[in-house]
Amino acid sequence: MRLLVGLGNPGAKYERTRHNLGFRVAGLAAGKLGVALDQTRWNAVLGSGRVRGEQVAIVLPQTFMNLSGESVGHAARFWKVDLGQVVVAHDDLDLTLGRVQVKVGGGDGGHNGLKSLRQHLGPDFVRVRLGIGRPPQGWDPADFVLAKFAAEEERVVEEMVPIAAEAAVLALLEGTAVAMNRFNRRPKEAEGWKGEAQEKVDLAGSDTSGKPKR
């Protein structure tokens, strides 16, 4: 069994917040894989199926972020999933808005969902990191991640989420090395190009440090 986890908070009020990017990616990946998220178990919404001859499951914990590891731990133990075949999609303050990166292991970076997963699984699961950037000066990171994106930021996110879903599916089915080789770069920026939506954010919402304004 291979396990894809999307991190987020349950409830309509959190749906489009920065902290719920993992849910958005996992939901889109489920559609790509043809897996219906039509089950509830272990305080999670989940689905499972066979894709390319492999058993896969997608789990969206409904425990609120800081207890995510409880649901995922139950699923991983029930299906006897190797830690290297657990792929977790999550928001990341330490990456610039719009950037996607695949990695294995690491710390929690102050992310309570990752902290809980590390407590219940250990550190060496696969991560698909979705950059949200750092908050502007004076904005508490805890409030920042629970806020919704500004309109121009949301356009960047709409470009990022499908890319992250592709990265998650690739890591799940073909392995971390393949996904890292394909996605661990700043697409087109290395050639001096940025997506149209990102350019608009930079022009409309940057201070001298390059961070989007609130």
Which residues are part of the catalytic machinery?
19
Rounded to an integer, what distance in angstroms lies between the CA atom of residue 195 and that of residue 187? 9
Q: Are 81 and 27 in contact (CB under 8 A)?
A: no
Strands 44-51 and 54-61, by their bridges, are: antiparallel
Q: Which residues neighbour 6 within 8 Å (Cβ) at sequence distance 6 or greater?
A: 22, 23, 24, 25, 26, 27, 29, 58, 59, 60, 88, 89, 90
Structure tokens at 17: 């917040």
Tokens 């989940």 appear where?
A: 46
CA proximity to 93, closest of 138, 151, 136: 136
